Amino acid sequence: MPPPAPSYDTYQPAYGTQAPYEPYEPYEPEEPYEPYSYGSYAPAAPATPATPAAPSTVPDPSAPDGGPLLPHQNQASWPTVAVAAAAPDTRRAARRRKGGTGAASGGDHKPDTLRKLVPQALVVAFLAGGTSAFVANDKSIELSVDGAPRTLHTFADDVGELLKREGVPVGEHDLVAPGRGQTLASGDEVVVRYGRPIVLTLDGERRQVWTTAQTVDGALRQFGVRAEGAYLSASRSSAISRRGLSLDVRTERTLTVMADGRERTIRTNAATVEEAVQEAGISLGNQDTTSVPLDSFPRDGQTVTVMRITGSREVREEPIPFKVIRKEDPSVFKGTEEVVRAGEPGSRKVTYVLRTVNGVKEKPKRFSEEIARQPVDRIVKVGTKPMPTAVAGADGLNWEGLAQCESGGRPGATDPSGTYGGLYQFDRQTWQALGGSGAAHEAPASEQTFRAKKLYVQRGASPWPHCGRKL
């Protein structure tokens, strides 16, 4: 180990302090410095190698005034820059002893040692500056990924570059704090929380959400869901993997149940109204029900009314009407219809439910039915044959005047007894004997006139004893 550097603070020249110092003259070299090459530098050889150099001297620190100069035993092992900084200027001291300035005495050259020490000092300063910049860019960062912290050193400028260098991928559902573009400084903490998918069924409503929490309890706090008194399909302390989980949550709600004239208010996390009614201590009979479906989800603040039901069943027989089927027949005059088969109604047995709800009878409700007898369809012939208008021996008579006298010219007219009808007041028997069907007042006016002409040919005006003279 080299001996400690001597102190030059108390150095006193050997020749005393009476001689005043001469003013310092700046050194101006006449020749430029030689180019410096690091690694090839070697100290200059002594000017007179034949004569051994005198040992270097330092002041004696034990003397009160610095004492005489003592030989330095290990000068060659000391750093060159330190020696140059601490060594006295022997050249200036020589000029002072001679009593002249550098210019007057011809001393215009510095020692070779100083000329070689200046480039070396510049190189040391350059290396020291580069080391400082290197140290300044190195940052100590604490990185926490999903709750696992670690301290690392990095040259990254921002959070995004740090995560990329450390191989930490992040997605749109992941949390990075501070943001990816945030500039880093030594001592910063970067937190990464991975997103986890949760299929959440909250109070009956199903949806998919994302959370960066690692436990069920943390996820509920993140979603703002009150867990106290709630039903959870998983424990609050359960861990959530990055694959996520399905979670069913039913929060505690207030429900009012009205039954048998009494009102009960409970706090429940039941999944159905039926469960809530049972929690209220109310039993339901076989036919009893509630004002809302028993399998529906109970809502906060909801009022449910229990309906006590008693009932019976009643069977009633009801008729089934028959259908009328009309078939065209070219052998029957147009406007004429003939009933081929009469229709018969059928019957059915219908079962009705008679209910009494909370003592009040309701309208009977059809429950089921059974056919007792099938109906028989009615079949009618509809004539399509053109009706003749001319009848030999009856054409040219005043049939309009006869119609006005008998019925006032109204084809559908009937007498008060219902025996006679039509323009010419036919009775049913006479009408059907002439080829008509049904009643005369049901046939068209042209058919009534045609059949009246046929009757006139057969019997003359005698069928109309009072109005026959109009013909």
pTM of the complete model: 0.43
Question: What mean pLDDT is predicted for residues 271-286?
Answer: 93
Residue 62 has pLDDT above 60, yes or no: no
Q: What is the dihedral of CA 215, 219, 220, 222, to 10 degrees?
A: 140
Give the pLDDT score at 88: 40
Q: What is the pLDDT of residue 444?
A: 87
> Quick one: CA torsion of 166, 167, 170, 175, rounded to 10 degrees?
-30
Residue 36's contacts (CB-CB under 8 Å, 6 or more residues apart) are: 119, 120, 122, 123
Q: Is 360:308 a contact under the CB 8 Å cutoff?
A: no
User: What is the structure's pLDDT at 121?
Assistant: 54
DSSP letters spanning 384-414 = EEPPP---TTTTTS-HHHHHHHHHSS-TT-B
> Given this model, what pLDDT does residue 205 score?
92
Higher pLDDT, 292 or 129: 292
- The answer to whether domain 139-193 has CATH 3.20.20.370 is no
Q: Can you say whether the dihedral through the CA atoms of 98, 99, 100, 102 is positive or negative? A: positive
- Name beta bridge partners: 264: 257
Query: Which of 107-116, 227-236, 419-428 has the least mean pLDDT?
Result: 107-116
Kindly state which CATH superfamily the domain 196-250 is placed in.
Beta-grasp domain (3.10.20.30)
* 436 or 118: which leads in pLDDT: 436
Contact 93, 24 (CB under 8 A): no
**Nearest of 99, 109, 106, 105 to residue 22 by alpha carbon:** 99
Using CA atoms, how far apart are residues 96 and 20, in angstroms rounded to an integer? 8
Region 128-155: mean pLDDT is 79
Q: Mean pLDDT across the stretch 126-152?
A: 75
Strand order in 245-250's β-sheet? 205-211, 196-202, 245-250, 231-232
What was the pLDDT predicted at 269? 94
Domain boundaries, the chain: 1-43+54-137, 139-193, 196-250, 253-307, 312-379, 387-470
State pLDDT tens for residues 29-46.
Answer: 444 444 444 344 444 444
DSSP label of 357: E
For residues 295-316, average pLDDT: 93
CA contacts within 13 A on the Cβ side of 25 = 20
Residue 438 structure tokens = 């049904």
**Residue 447 pLDDT level (bands cut at 50, 70, 90):** confident
Cα separation of 171 and 175, whole Å? 8
pLDDT at 94 over 90: no
Structure confidence by residue, pLDDT tens digits, 378-388: 999 998 888 77
SS3 letters across 325-344: EEEEEEEEECCCEEEEECCE
pLDDT at 425: 93
Summary mean pLDDT of the chain: 78
What's residue 129's pLDDT?
A: 52
Are 253-307 and 312-379 the same fold in CATH? no
Domain 253-307 has CATH 2.40.50.140: no
**How high is the pLDDT of residue 75?**
36
At 47, the pLDDT band (50, 70, 90 cuts) reads very low
Report the DSSP pairing between strands 57-59 and 324-333.
Answer: unpaired
Return the half-sphere exposure (C-beta side, CA atoms, 13 A cut-off) of residue 115.
Answer: 15
Give domain 312-379's CATH superfamily: Resuscitation-promoting factor rpfb. (2.20.230.10)
Please state the rounded mean pLDDT for residues 424-451: 89
More reliable by pLDDT, 335 or 176: 176
- Alpha carbon 182 to its chain's center: 29
Pick the CATH number of 387-470 from 1.10.530.10, 2.40.128.20, 1.10.3720.10, 3.20.20.70: 1.10.530.10
Would the pLDDT of 21 be above 50?
no
Asked if residue 26 lies in contact with residue 94, where contact means CB atoms within 8 angstroms, the answer is: no
Q: Give 106's pLDDT tier (boundaries 50, 70, 90).
A: very low
More confident call, 11 vs 389: 389
Token representation of residue 465: 């004893």
